Amino acid sequence: MSVTTSLIKAAVVQAEPVWFDLPGTVTKTCDLIKDAASKGAKIIAFPELWLPGYPTWIWARPMDLEMVVKYTKNSLKIDSSEMQDIKSCAVDNNIVVCLGFSERSGDSLYVAQCIINSNGEVVMTRRKLKPFHVERTIFGDGHGPSLDNVALTSVGRVGQLSCGEHFNPLINFNTFSQGEQIHCAAWPCVPAHSGGPEPYSMSDEAQTFSLQPPDFPPGKEHSEHLSHRTGHLSRLKPLSYVNTTRLQIAYYEDGSPDAQAVLLLHGWPYDIHSYTEVAPALVKQGYRVIVPYLRGNGPTTFLDTDTFRSGQQAALGYDVIELLDALNIKKAVFAGYDWGGRGACVAAALWPERCAGLVSVNSYLIQDLSKAWVPLDAKIEAGFWYFYYFLTPRGQGALAEHPKDIARVVWDKNSPEWNYTEEDLDRATETFVNPDYVSVVTHVYKHRLLYAPGDPDYSDIEKALLEQPVISVPTVTLDGLADGNFPPTNGSSSAKYFSGPRVHHQVPGAGHNLPQEKPNAFVNAVLEVTSLK
């Protein structure tokens, strides 16, 4: 099944149903689907209980059996001809439909949702786990299968929740953990207050809004979540997805498609938000920025369960080239640090025709595995404690159970002058919730120390890397003077690895996560490398 590789157009229904009239609302549903598809939408989302309308009266008056009976008769059965009409409409218009409806099963009602794929298949049905407040006078509780609320569709992995479920952290976590890419948040109608007995809180004058990131449609005006501390972007959103031969890579992109592309590659244990200030600054300078989650991190996933969960440097470098291929980019600036810097160096050395310039923190990062067992200075070895810890079952278990704590220790050691916040660490910790995180991270260090074999598919690349290939493209290298684990240099010790134009800078006050700690220095390095001849 194909999966979206770029932004798509989505339709969100804000309309009035044909009250208490199932056939009439089905007809209106199909009309709205056709209209959305004709305007280029590939997915359409309907409100909570769209069919046959939200029973707003329950908030304003005593039980009304006559209205309940009428409502029940006009509720939707999943195996009905009315549902078939909607499925057929989805097929005819090649669109994914996220439907909210009152499900009638026997003579019981449920607050229900379903996802109809563009081929007409119902790929997910669910019931609201616990109807809210007086909704329980009409609707029954959901059941276990309702937790399987994310499904693969022609536009990606789509999930749904209903109204108050969005305030339940565990239900949200369950949804996110299923690899959701598009979230359809269903809410009921909230009309103007009539001056009658209904609660003021259920009126639009109450100015109640959803403030969850998934509830914002794609678009720059909604993606720029500002930090209350700095006034800068706190998150890079929305994400796009693209398939390579092995991965579905999640990435942030901004800037003109025709501009010079810059790949910003993060390290470990960090994430794409190392570039929350760098990315918009480069876009303002006229660049196209692409910030991918590396393998084993965040929403980036392997396509096949049988694929080797490798973290070796050859894999990181080849992922860069495959990402360019998938995005139809002939040439880009590669910029990164730590894992990302290593992948950038590998790609620049072996595929110089694809690299318009290299920015690398800590200079030449291609590992010489022939010297994997050569001792380093004792102080440096002490900073590499996790290399050895992750060789053991104990270390692997700790990484699985306490990834945030491990990240905190590494951050503190790597960047002793960086005044990061708990918000920064929590945001990065979200990246570690990946089914292959532990496998990929531990393989990085097992392979680096020759305690685990690499993926045979990368054997030719690894052989080339054993030669310590020279980097011929224009390069700017950076060392943070406050890097607690990687002593800064003047660049001379690594000069032999660069045959093209190269400039080296020392950055005062910068630790290992240099793009986030000193974004201006990193931005200037990208500007500089594109001017080197």
**483, 451 in Cβ contact below 8 A?**
no
Q: Are 176 and 429 contacting, i.e. CB atoms less than 8 angstroms apart?
A: no
β partners of residue 477? 360, 504
Say how far apart CA 533 and CA 530 lie, in whole Å: 8
C-alpha count within 13 angstroms, C-beta hemisphere, residue 396 = 12
Residue 408: which of 395, 421, 396, 397 has the closest Cα?
421
Chain position carrying tokens 């598809």? 37
Neighbours of 511 (CB within 10 A): 25
Annotated active-site residue 103? The verdict is: no
- The Cα–Cα gap between 176 and 183 comes to 9
Element (H, E) at 123: strand 122-127
How many residues belong to the chain? 533
Ramachandran quadrant class, 364 (left: phi over 0; alpha: psi -120 to 50; beta: rest): beta
Using CA atoms, how far apart are residues 298 and 249, in angstroms rounded to an integer? 9
- Residue reference for tokens 């993606």: 223
Local structure of 186: helix, strand or coil: strand
SS3 call for 292: strand
DSSP β-bridge partners for residue 45: 12, 98
Give CA–CA dist 241/115, Å, rounded. 20
Cβ-count burial 407-436 (b if 16+ within 10 Å, e if not): bbebbebbbeebebeeebeebbbebbebeb
Give the catalytic positions in this structure: 48
